[in-house]
Amino acid sequence: MNARPDPAALARDVKQEARRLGFEACGIARAEQLDTEARRLEEWLNGSRHAGMTWMERHFDLRIDPRRLVDGARSVISVIDNYYQPLEPSSEPDHGRVSRYAWGDDYHRVMKKRLKKLMQWIEDRCGTEVNGRAFVDSAPVMDKAWAQRAGVGWIGKNANLIRQGLGSWFFIGELIVDVDLTPDGPAFDHCGSCTRCIDACPTDAIVEPYVIDSNRCISYLTIENREPTINAELAERSDNWVFGCDVCQEVCPWNKFRKPATEARYYPRRNTTQTSIADWQDMSEEEFLERFAGSPIRRAGHAGIQRNVRAVAANGRSVSRGARTGNKR
């Protein structure tokens, strides 16, 4: 059996190949149990901060130890994929807003394909079979924790991963492999005394720095929430968001370093950024499924979107049928 390449040289080459494939950054951490992160996750779950996301209670042992996901795992490779688009969403009060991450195609498919290419490259480079798996928000993997350990960025007070010189408009993915790679050092927190995200959250979902209460988070309420209605007090404070929320990222000072994504599949789809509440209300399930095929928006489902639209309309942000503006994109 051929000897695998030197861990330091291979780590360097993996990062270079990741950048060639289009990833914004790549870092490496040693595959080991996440003890500190496990305690924080347990406290968060015990406080019922995960709201209706009961699936987060399952497979706790897999979440905190990558060696349980991949036999013989030695390294966790973290990558990020920039999705920021310079187009400003509609400021019209009668339009429903969609989080930027959902303007284009489903990131799971886009990133998974490139991660598999990186995996194949690693195997070719090693000259031997490599045991590993690619993850893009699709399994019990604490992606932000691994990215911080790999030096890709730090977890901010809004619980998003932030990278110096780029901000936070990006997706995260991992490769867990049974290959020895020289690890990077962890990224350090650069939020300082800033509390802009906490102050700006419309529903006070950031209950303390670095802690999100999903029960109050607009993103949870409009995406993962499976209840037929949204709490009236929270709905009233949720502005015109019909899918997700970007407020804590929009106010983050580090996002002044944002830059446009080059991945064409993240470009805004037609009828996503400037759709009136009236148009959202009129959308049949068939039209919804057709329009948002291959889009993250489908995760909320037609019923979920209609619930969100009703909440916005109840706050007086919709327009009358006779005054509908139609789609501008």
Return the DSSP state at 271: T
Q: Which two tokens stand for residue 168?
A: 């936070």
Closest CA to 94 of 329, 321, 302: 321
Closest CA to 82 of 205, 171, 6: 171
pLDDT for 90: 79
Return the DSSP state at 284: -
Q: Reduced to 3 states, what is the DSSP secondary structure of residue 30?
A: strand
Q: In what helix (H) or strand (E) does residue 313 lie, and over which residues does it extend?
A: helix 301-314
Look up tokens 């997700």; give the residue. 244
Tell me the C-alpha distance between 214 and 207, whole Å.
10
H helices present in 170-256, as ranges: 196-200, 218-219, 232-236, 247-250
Tell me the C-alpha distance between 302 and 287, whole Å.
9
Handedness of CA 45, 57, 198, 187 (dihedral sign): positive
Cα–chain-centroid distance for residue 232? Answer: 26
Q: How far is CA 281 from CA 171, 219, 278, 315, in A?
A: 30, 20, 5, 14
Q: In what helix (H) or strand (E) does residue 275 lie, and over which residues does it extend?
A: strand 275-276
The pTM of this model reads 0.93
Tell me the C-alpha distance between 90 and 105, whole Å.
20
Tell me the C-alpha distance between 276 and 324, whole Å.
7
Closest CA to 249 of 148, 142, 100: 100
Strands 211-212, 206-208: pairing is antiparallel
Residues lower than pLDDT 50 in the chain = 318-329
pLDDT for 2: 63
Active-site residue, selected from the candidate residues 13, 105, 124, 137: 137
pLDDT for 316: 66
Look up tokens 């901000």; give the residue. 167
The answer to whether residue 246 is catalytic is no
